[in-house]
Amino acid sequence: DTGVSQNPRHKITKRGQNVTFRCDPISEHNRLYWYRQTLGQGPEFLTYFQNEAQLEKSRLLSDRFSAERPKGSFSTLEIQRTEQGDSAMYLCASSAGTEAFFGQGTRLTVV
């Protein structure tokens, strides 16, 4: 296990389309987090899971966003009816203790 893996690395989509990103955490980590990062800014928390339960959602997570973590393993983040303002880097992190390990992110460009 080499760390947190995110796919795809890059995604270009047309406005109004739906997109789905995948995150594979470090296998023994029970907590998984999603963040959004716009250019030149710090990441902003979106949501997190403990095992398969989604424990918290940020107000940034509009009703067009949904995240799942079936069976407490990988997670998906779906954005429906994408808007240009959704263009950002989407980061996934996992943890089992006090350190969060981040993936390389999925860069979304909405055109």
Partner 1 sequence: AQTVTQSQPEMSVQEAETVTLSCTYDTSESDYYLFWYKQPPSRQMILVIRQEAYKQQNATENRFSVNFQKAAKSFSLKISDSQLGDAAMYFCAIPGGTSYGKLTFGQGTILTVHP
DSSP string for 59-91? TTS-TTEEEE-GGGS-EEEEESS--GGG-EEEE
* Nearest CB to partner 1, comparing residues 105 and 110: 105
- CB closer to partner 1 out of 14 and 99: 99
Q: By CB under 8 A, how many residues form the interface with partner 1?
A: 25
Taking the least distance from each CB to partner 1, the nearer of 20 and 102 is 102
DSSP single-letter state for residue 51: T
Q: Does 48 bind partner 1 (CB under 8 A)?
A: yes
DSSP string, 16-44: T--EEEEEE--TT--EEEEEEE-TTS--E
Binding site for partner 1 (CB under 8 A): 3-4, 31, 33, 40-45, 48, 55-56, 91, 93-95, 97-100, 102-105
